[in-house]
Structure 1
């Protein structure tokens, strides 16, 4: 029995339910029923607008975001669904930090809820750098069903790995 690498931290009973759906060939059906839509945010410009709107709604006082893009190089095997960085540059006598958010390109064809969950996660890092209690409280504030979406996203990644996409 191969381990469910995206679901390893979840209780064995929950993993067993997902494994049963996999064994019966119904995991894709489960996901399609829960998340039937695909988002229309296809370009980097549209992604920037999407992220800026969420930031404006929930994190007005957070640092500005300078760049947002889909990244083909983000590797799901290293658990990088999205990435937030601060690129520091010297301009004159000052040190400027440019904030960037990158989203793995595999999410161009995902449910809008999954894209929103990833963006909320990366935006939360503007205020909280570590994955601590305050970080997850901020995620829940911005997206009330954050934890369920994170679980379902992990199920989606498991399904993609089956090669039935």
Structure 2
């Protein structure tokens, strides 16, 4: 099933369960029962404040963020839910470093747990650049239940695709 591209790499028994939920038209009900609320970070400023609070709580020694914003050009189809970028520019003989996080605008209206998961994921890249064991341990430390939230977010994306 091409709509399950977000589940590449997951065990076959999970994919069969998801296909069954889709066939029985239960995926939307499952997601709504687990995540009935919507977050209130509709603006880039509110998103930045939320990310800054998470960084302050868990990553005090990590570099500060210059920008956190919703990006309408971010393409979730290319598996980019969010993007953490660093850039360095030369200003009068000094090197100026900039760090920003861009979140796909499709997440302006999602469950607060999903937004937290994406922010935690991108913030973890301040410490661990690769998706290795230490990276996922840091994500789990910052947001207990991170693995389940990531899976459910993938289900949410599948459901959004099916809705058109």
TM bracket (short chain): over 0.9
- CA–CA separation in structure 1 for the residues paired with 2:58 and 2:50: 13
Q: Which residue of 2 aligns with 1:40?
A: 40
Secondary structure, counterpart of 2:97 in structure 1: strand
Instruction: Answer yes or no: is 1:19 the counterpart of 2:10.
Output: no
**Deviation beyond 3 Å, 4+ runs, structure 1:** none
Aligned to 2:95: 95
Counterparts in 2 of 1:14-163, with a 5 A limit?
A: 14-163=14-163
SS in 1 for 2:7: coil
Deviations 1:11-57 (A, max 9, x none): 11111111111001110000000000000000000000010000001
- The CA deviation at 1:2 is 3.7
Between 2-11 and 27-36, the greater mean CA deviation after superposition: 2-11
In structure 1, distance between residues paired with 2:141 and 2:29 = 30
* Counterparts of 1:64 and 1:108, CA distance in 2: 23
Q: Is the 8 A contact 2:89 2:97 kept in 1?
A: yes
Which structure shows the higher helix fraction?
Answer: 2
Distance, in Å, in 1 between the alignment partners of 2:117 and 2:103 is 11
Measure, in 2, the Cα distance between the counterparts of 1:80 and 1:3.
16
Give the gaps of 5 or more residues in structure 1. none
Name structure 2 gaps, 5 residues minimum. none
Cα offset, 1:92, TM superposition: 2.1
Give TM-score scaled by structure 2 length.
0.97
